[in-house]
Structure 1
Amino acid sequence: MAEAPRSPEQRKKDALYRLEHDIDLWVASSDADGPYLVPLSFLWDGSTLLLSTPASSPTGRNLVANNIVRLGLGPTRDVVLIEGTVESLTAADLAPGEGDAFAAKTGFDPRADGDAYHYYRVRPLRLQVWREANELKGRTLMREGAWIVPE
């Protein structure tokens, strides 16, 4: 039997904890050949997510071509689903210390591979959080890039 549904405020708190502490998420993108789903490490800065993958990979190409992405964070029975816009960056485009922060959190430094890897900044537009069917109602916590749940 499922637990009682969490309040929207608790779901937001849980989502922010996962964004701050989890290391990896699923990245869904697509092109004319079909969909791609890959796990990537990320850094959350409080308002955006920073990802990295080779620029020549299907995911890297799709993120640039479509400028939109869907991210899945957490297990299937405690999911944070994020839709957002994508900005492609080189290591030189990062803010001071951002590459170091990414490497420290993820245990992986894309800069070590020269220019092969690019970074992708995702600005969330919609964020949904739910565990079970009893949390489907009210699962949207962010709409058009703004939190709709108070602190």
Structure 2
Amino acid sequence: MTTAPECPSAGGAPRPRSRRRRDTEHRLAHDTDVWVASAAPDGAPHLVPLSFDWDGETLLMATPAGSPTGRNLAATGVVRLGLGHTRDVTVIDGRVEVLEIGALPPERGDRFAARAGFDPRGADTPYRWFRVRPHRVQAWREENELAERELMRGGVWLG
């Protein structure tokens, strides 16, 4: 797995927003897994890692329809994703579109399978696709990057 450059030691100069966006886009294009935080309608939280594919606008994930994550995403339509490690994190808040496993064009499913290393279309357990459209993206490494951590607001990249 290719990742964005490692973060500098603590106390380094903060990255400008343009660099944070490039680093975030690199992670989206090259990382394979993301932490998926969802909540049941009653508020019970759930956190799991899932593989994803980024097409430049949305993240595509797959998980069993009956799993806690699958049920939560279908019920609420919102998700928070954590990409990277704790000293170089990207947090993505997004809206979720739920798709039946046969709903995507075959080439889109093939692309996901190649990147993720598994193909949910052939699983014995019924899977669904979950397409996430980011509406807020934040990225930071250290405390000195907190002030300008927001990279996307309302689905539009800033600066």
- TM bin, normalised by shorter chain, reads over 0.9
> Any conservation in 1 of the 2:39–2:45 contact (CA below 8 Å)?
yes
Which of 19, 30, 33 is 2:39 aligned to? 30
Aligned partners of 1:111 and 1:96: how far apart in 2?
10
- Deviation digits for residues 87-115 of structure 1 (CA, Å, limit 9, x no counterpart): 00122211341100000011011011156
Code of the aligned partner of 1:46: G
Distance 1:133 1:91 in 2: 41
* Number of the residue aligned with 1:131: 141
**CA distances 1:41-77 after superposition (whole Å, capped 9, x unpaired):** 0000000000110000010000010000000000011
Q: What amino acid does structure 2 have at the position aligned with 1:21?
A: H
TM-score (norm 2): 0.90
Change (3 A) 1:7 1:117: same
TM-score (norm 1): 0.95
What percentage of aligned pairs have identical amino acids?
56
CA contact 1:25–1:40 (8 Å) conserved in 2: yes
**1:108 partner SS:** coil
Q: 1:80 matched to which residue of 2?
A: 90
Gaps of 5+ in 1: none
User: 2: distance between equivalents of 1:21 and 1:75?
Assistant: 14
RMSD: 1.1
Q: Is the 8 A contact 2:102 2:121 kept in 1?
A: no
Within the alignment, does 1:10 sit opposite 2:19 as a pair? yes
SS in 1 for 2:102: helix
Matched AA of 2:112: F
Aligned in 2, Cα 1:148/1:50: closer, same or farther, shift over 3 Å? same
- Alignment length (residue pairs): 149
Deviation, 1:3, is 1.2
Partner Cα separation in structure 1 for residue 138 and residue 103 of structure 2: 30
